[in-house]
Amino acid sequence: MTRRLGSGSLVIATHNAGKLKEISALLEPHGVKCLSAGSLGLPEPAETGTTFVQNALIKARASAEASGLVALADDSGLAVDALDGRPGVYTADWAERQWFEGEPGRDWYMAMGKVEGMLQEKGGGAPRSCAFHCVLALAWPDGEYAVYEGKAPGTFTWPPRGTMGFGYDPVFVPVGREQTFAELDPAEKHAISHRAEAFKKLVAEQFG
């Protein structure tokens, strides 16, 4: 049987405020207080894995070891069928921009445009089917861990639409909807997202 998380503090291995807010909302009903790795001053480890599972475990283990607390890491990305699953594990990397005014950062519009440009190179009839993938990795300071996976199929659309959400949400239309993730009410998105599916599995095993 998988080790139980229980209530208390949990380090979320992220420096992304949007991701922390979304994960906190999903765990709050279970009495879990979420702290970000960024707020604790923990460094971001190099994501050297070639799969979502590998990268999620790298991040969770690094935060657990550095903080002495149980840590949860999310590794997620967009896989576009016509692009052989890209950007995949490099989803965030595609948004990396050069140093600007002394600060590095991510330009998500640039990243979304890169996907659109590559699809256009394939021709106007290129299929736009894609899916968001999510892997959640729980890691305890003593080395034990658990992994949960989720997937949300959909279609890549252009131009981007909506102001809610983050990352590639403005160009992703989930199956069964006409709005992008960035146009949906956050509560509705949370109910159908790839992260939500992974969390349902986590909650069923950890709090069920």
The answer to whether the CB of 12 falls within 8 A of the CB of 22 is: no
Distance CA 38, CA 26 (A): 19
Distance CA 145, CA 188 (A): 30
Residues with catalytic function:
75
* pLDDT tens-place string over residues 40-71: 999 889 999 999 999 999 999 999 999 999 99
pLDDT at 168: 93
Helix (H) or strand (E) holding 150: strand 145-156
Helix (H) or strand (E) holding 61: helix 52-67
Question: What's the average model confidence in pLDDT over 150-170?
Answer: 94
* Domains, the chain, ordered by start: 8-206 (3.90.950.10)
Question: What's the average model confidence in pLDDT over 189-203?
Answer: 90
pLDDT at 97: 65
Helix (H) or strand (E) holding 55: helix 52-67
